[in-house]
Structure 1
Amino acid sequence: MDKSIFIGMSGAKQTMLAQQAHANNLANVNTTGFKRDFAQARSMPVFGEHHPTRAYAMTERPGTELRAGALVETGRDLDVAMKGDGWMAIQNDTGEEVFTRAGSLQVDVNGLLRTSSGEMVMGNGGPIALPPYEKLQIGDDGTVSIVPVGGPPNQLANIDRIKLVNPPPEALEKGTDGFMRRKPDAALEGPEPLDANMRLTSGFLESSNVNAVEEMISNLQLSRQFEMQVKIMQTADENSEVTARLLQNL
């Protein structure tokens, strides 16, 4: 018997997964530095005896759109945005070096420079630690300078430099934590080298590159596809019941 009900079921399931990807994009439309994920489906042949017209559906995330978002002026000294390409290197909770363009920074009680979500910002020799200061300034090359407590207001002391990197876009993938990292087959031996050509803009943040209207339209289209897959399952179930009744009457 043709198990077409399972074909419809796989289509409905993968359509729901695609909806989740677009819903996640839409939920992060206002998240600083967020990069939207792509979602697409491809057909998978049925193994064993089957009709040639039957194929399962499988949703996959082929990649992430790395296009830069718009710059939003905040005027805050600890807000920075990348100029053009490049990423800021940070350290996640597991000690792994990952990359982000979310430049809303803060200084914790221990003087460590962190992102708004708590990851430590990497410098030339590791996480950046700041002594007590009265004023802080981040240069366009990532240099972090301060006016020490009690020091002359016009005398800046260079403390460290934010590690800016520029790995090839095709070598990057987004992890489940939302940060970018090198793909396993493109990993380097040792940490990512800094790129002295990368530049920052202080007092700005990069917005998400998600187009809310486009994501909403995609979800509506997927909803129609889900309804179609459910109808396929209903039709397959009805055909199975009719076949069973015919066999009973033989």
Structure 2
Amino acid sequence: MTNAALHVARTGLDAQNERMRVIANNLANVNTTGFKRDRAQFETLAYQSITAPGAPSSADNKFATGLNLGSGVSIAATSRIDTQGSLQQTENALDMAIEGGGFFQVSQPDGSIAYTRDGSFTLSDQGTIVTSDGMPLEPQIQVPDGATKITIGADGTVSAQLQGQTETTTLGKIQTARFTNPNGLEAIGNNMLRETAASGAPQIGDPGTDGRGAVRGGNLESSNVNIVEELVDMIETQRAYEVNSKLIKATDEMLQYANQQL
């Protein structure tokens, strides 16, 4: 029985260690543009049924509750908390933030499309709007050389004043994607997410329509990590880890006592 208690306590240590890693990643990305904090979700491991509920306890009676012994805990999943981060003005015309649901589309080197909330865009040497890593925004928008007063409308319309013209010219329109289950998107690093079977297919359309948030030019979305909340979670995790450590020590002392006395 005590050996089983050691195993249960070990699973508790493993689970709390993994939760601390999730918290550490949240805190590490507190200044990452468009970052969404993760939350660890726990689940029980298999139970050992000693006495099944409803089994006969005598000729005329049945057990009302039964006896089931758990075998520990594990991290079942991490869920992304998609609450809106605060918008920060940057005075950079090509910076963008989505106020509401949706993701920018970015073309990957392998031709696939990734999705991001990070709107830190700039121009390539060819005048294409790209990420800081040089990956183009989809659909691609070309800004002519010498264009000034670039503006981005809430509906994703990109306009600029061209040389020799007094009125602004529309250069293109940004489209954003939304998903039935955005938590099903797979994080692949570099602030990028990838479509999966769990997320469903992307629903592409104009910003501000069908649940897609409006685009705010000259702004960036801050991380939604709350430092105070993460520190509270960190203390809670540390205490739970300490309790499981004490359980291992207590179980070891019980085994030692039994070996000496029996």
Q: TM-score, normalised by structure 2?
A: 0.80
1:184 is paired with a residue whose SS is coil
Determine the structure 2 residue equivalent to 1:158. 170
Give the Å deviation of 1:53: 3.2
Aligned 1:36-51 pairs, distance under 5 A: 36-46=37-47
1:187 is aligned to 2:200 = yes
Contact 1:133 1:146 in 2 (8 A): no
Q: Which amino acid aligns with 1:173?
A: L
Worse-matched range after superposition: 91-100 or 231-240: 91-100
How many Å separate the matches in 1 of 2:2 and 2:109? Answer: 50
| Distance change (3 Å), C-alpha of 1:2 and 1:118 | farther
Determine the structure 2 residue equivalent to 1:111. 127
Q: CA RMSD, aligned part only?
A: 2.6
How many Å separate the matches in 2 of 1:243 and 1:129? Answer: 78
Q: Which amino acid aligns with 2:157?
A: T
Q: Compare CA radii of gyration and give the structure with the larger one.
A: 2
How many Å separate the matches in 2 of 1:20 and 1:95? Answer: 32
Contact 1:171 1:183 in 2 (8 A): no
1:52 is paired with a residue whose SS is strand
Contact 1:35 1:210 in 2 (8 A): yes
Give the Å deviation of 1:131: 3.6
Give the Å deviation of 1:171: 6.4
Partner deviation per Cα, 1:3-49 (whole Å, 9 max, x = no partner):
22121111011101101111111111121111111113221125698
State the structure with bigger RCO (CA 8 A, min sep 6), 1 or 2: 1
Contact 1:81 1:200 in 2 (8 A): yes
Determine the structure 2 residue equivalent to 1:221. 236
How many Å separate the matches in 1 of 2:127 and 2:259? Answer: 74
Unaligned runs of 5+ in 2: 51-66
Give the number of the structure whose residues are more often strand, by fraction: 2
Contact 1:22 1:218 in 2 (8 A): yes
Determine the structure 1 residue equivalent to 2:151. 137
How many Å separate the matches in 1 of 2:95 and 2:258? Answer: 67
Determine the structure 1 residue equivalent to 2:141. 128
Aligned 1:85-104 pairs, distance under 5 A: 85-104=101-120
How many Å separate the matches in 2 of 1:70 and 1:139? Answer: 19
Contact 1:64 1:173 in 2 (8 A): no
How many Å separate the matches in 1 of 2:204 and 2:193? Answer: 15
How many Å separate the matches in 1 of 2:192 and 2:184? Answer: 10
Identical-residue share of aligned pairs (%): 28
Q: TM-score, normalised by structure 1?
A: 0.83
| Distance change (3 Å), C-alpha of 1:24 and 1:106 | same
Unaligned runs of 5+ in 1: none
| Distance change (3 Å), C-alpha of 1:71 and 1:156 | same
1:213 is paired with a residue whose SS is helix
Partner deviation per Cα, 1:157-188 (whole Å, 9 max, x = no partner):
33322221232345643424243444414533
How many Å separate the matches in 2 of 1:232 and 1:155? Answer: 74
How many Å separate the matches in 2 of 1:8 and 1:194? Answer: 50
Indicate which of 72, 75, 84 corresponds to 2:100: 84
Give the Å deviation of 1:95: 3.2
Determine the structure 1 residue equivalent to 2:259. 244
Indicate which of 175, 179, 201 corresponds to 2:187: 175
Q: Which amino acid aligns with 2:8?
A: I
| Distance change (3 Å), C-alpha of 1:22 and 1:101 | same
Contact 1:79 1:203 in 2 (8 A): yes
Aligned 1:45-60 pairs, distance under 5 A: 45-46=46-47, 52-60=68-76
How many Å separate the matches in 2 of 1:132 and 1:173? Answer: 36
